[in-house]
Amino acid sequence: MRLTPYQIKVLKSTAKEIFGLRSDLLLFGSRVDDKLRGGDIDLYITGFNCSVDQRLDAKLRFLVKVKQKIGEQRIDLVFAPPSGHALKAIHRIAEQTGVLL
């Protein structure tokens, strides 16, 4: 996993603060593979069920707080779909390959 211990700490604590204690944060994509270089930080959020407007607000607050602490990084944030909704390809990839932070 190509994140520093400090980055992991910031991501986890900010996720719990913004998305709640029942949320989980998974890292997926190229940053999971130690052999690769570069790439954005792809994160998958579970356990945060609310309206689209609330998700957008929470996403923006999360990204601002994280970037203030770890600096400018490309971060993609994907929310798990609400229960009863179909999984898209990106959700399946994140759930199959993601590493819980």
Digit-coded pLDDT (tens) for 16-36: 999 999 999 999 998 898 777
* pTM flag (> 0.85): yes
* Averaged pLDDT, 86-92: 93
Residues counted in the chain: 101
Delineate the domains of the chain, giving CATH numbers in brackets. Answer: 5-100 (3.30.460.10)
* pLDDT band (50, 70, 90) for residue 43: very high
Tokens matching residue 44:
């998958």
Closest CA to 77 of 59, 64, 92: 59
